[in-house]
Amino acid sequence: MDRRKFIKEAGLATAASVVGLDIVFSSTLPENYIPLVKEPGNPYKLFGIDPEMTVLNNKPWNIEAKAHLLDDKITPNKYMFVRNNGLIPQSIDVSNWELVIDGESVVKPRTYSLQELKTKFKQYSYQLTLECGGNGRSEFNPPAKGNQWTVGAVSCAKWTGVRLRDILEDVGVKEDAVYIGYHGADVHLSKDPNKEAISRGVPMYKALQNETLLAFKMNDKDIPLAHGYPLRLIAGGWPASASGKWLNRISIRNKIHDGAKMKAPSYSVPCHAVAPGEKVKESDMCIIESMPVKSLITYPKTGAMIEAGSKLEIRGHAWAGELEVAKMEYSIDFGATWKTCALDRPTNRLAWQHFRASVEFPQKGYYEVWARATDEKGVCQPMLVPGWNPKGYLNNACHRIAVKIK
Ligand SMILES: Nc1nc2c(c(=O)[nH]1)N[C@H]1C(S)=C(S)[C@@H](COP(=O)(O)O)O[C@H]1N2
Ligand SMILES: [Mo]
């Protein structure tokens, strides 16, 4: 709804309630005075997120963190990026929520109530890294269309639920199964009930991993609405688009799932490297699976001022999709020389790892601290933006912060 139309339809009191803000002195305002409001719906209040979070789009809602907001070892809701392809479901009836398992490769379709899922199967908790495939897109040139994520479309919360593999075993999977596809209760932007906003999935080997969950809790509480309440598929280490929110159906497929945004160019990159700006045929694109090695300096905030002679304690997180991060380094001379950071092992597979270092600067002046992670196969982050691709996925270039020594 545009602002003018919104204002015409809503009085001041309703405006205040829709916007989610108290309008100061509303009772004494002149009758035709309309407070300046960009859009009905205040995302900070709506989603309980921190005022420093950056809204990239409001239809659908897309919101990212800044590097320094991601300092917690376990990402709290208020700093968790929100990425929606459609409209958040409005009326969720938890007591009647059901999960349907169907598809060509199911032995016999079956429906589980949420209650059944919670009571019939053993529950597990893991901290799982979810990074949007388009995180870092804003740095590609020529630019790629889509949300211009900088560095903040990544999170690592604690998720609790049941293993997808236990449910698949319970229902029975045919020999010819190759993929699972999810379906969620969100609404296509066009509001056409026959269209899905997104319906992606993962190959069977990923579906059957111990850490692939049907989650109903995030950080020990009900999953917040924006993140998929009351049930969500979680496939950590892969593009977060594989982790379906508001989950109500899983189809066991005898072919690669063909739901919305499964087909190239969505969440796909050229199978062979291309020049920046080159046209790529859809048949020459491959679906993204494990995310590449990456890291983020979460302390200090870029722009820090340090007294000459004092040490700077830096810290952050590193992750590498399906792999573990084996080494973490920093540079204060634009990558000319590197020093090692202390690096923790992950709390569990597919969780990000924490690093820290005590940095000394030789003299006063302007510095950048760069961070570089290397995965267990010896592959490290590139210093510059990696291979251009039409949709701007998989930018895992080194993160850097500016520091001034006074
Ligand atoms: N049903 C549904 N699931 C979805 C999406 C969506 O729009 N609808 N977006 C996907 C994408 S592209 C990402 S990056 C993650 C974002 O998860 P978050 O909003 O909880 O951070 O959810 C994924 N799951
Ligand atoms: Mo995404």
Would you kindly state where each structural domain of the chain is located, as residue ranges? 1-40, 77-287, 294-405
Question: Would you say the CB of residue 62 lies under 6 angstroms from ligand 1?
Answer: no
Fold equal for 77-287 and 294-405: no
Cβ pair 169, 210 in contact under 8 A? no
Judging by DSSP bridges, how do beta strands 304-306 and 399-405 pair with one another?
parallel
Cβ pair 293, 375 in contact under 8 A? yes
Judging by DSSP bridges, how do beta strands 82-83 and 98-102 pair with one another?
unpaired
Q: Kindly report the protein residue whose alpha carbon is nearest to atom 13 of ligand 1.
A: 241
Distance 280 CA to ligand 2 centre (A): 21
Question: Would you say the CB of residue 82 lies under 6 angstroms from ligand 1?
Answer: yes
How long, in residues, is the chain? 406
* Residue found under tokens 């691709």: 389
pLDDT of residue 161: 98
Q: Domain 294-405 falls in which CATH fold?
A: Immunoglobulin-like (2.60.40)
Q: Give which of 183, 218, 225 is closest to 41, Cα–Cα.
A: 225
CA-CA distance, 42 to 68, in Å (whole number)? 23
pLDDT of residue 17: 40
Q: Kindly report the protein residue whose alpha carbon is nearest to atom 10 of ligand 1.
A: 241
Does this model's pTM top 0.75? My answer is: yes
pLDDT of residue 30: 53
> Which tokens belong to 304?
């820090």
Question: Would you say the CB of residue 64 lies under 6 angstroms from ligand 1?
Answer: no
DSSP state for residue 292 in the 8-state scheme: P
> 224-264, pLDDT tens digit by residue?
999 999 999 999 999 999 999 999 999 999 999 999 999 99
Question: Would you say the CB of residue 241 lies under 6 angstroms from ligand 1?
Answer: yes
Q: What is the dihedral of CA 261, 262, 263, 267, to 10 degrees?
A: 80
pLDDT of residue 41: 81
Low-confidence ranges of the chain (pLDDT < 70): 1-40
Question: Would you say the CB of residue 243 lies under 6 angstroms from ligand 1?
Answer: yes
CA-CA distance, 138 to 270, in Å (whole number)? 19
Distance 308 CA to ligand 1 centre (A): 45
Domain 77-287: give its CATH code. 3.90.420.10
Left (φ > 0), alpha (ψ -120 to 50) or beta: where does 103 sit? left
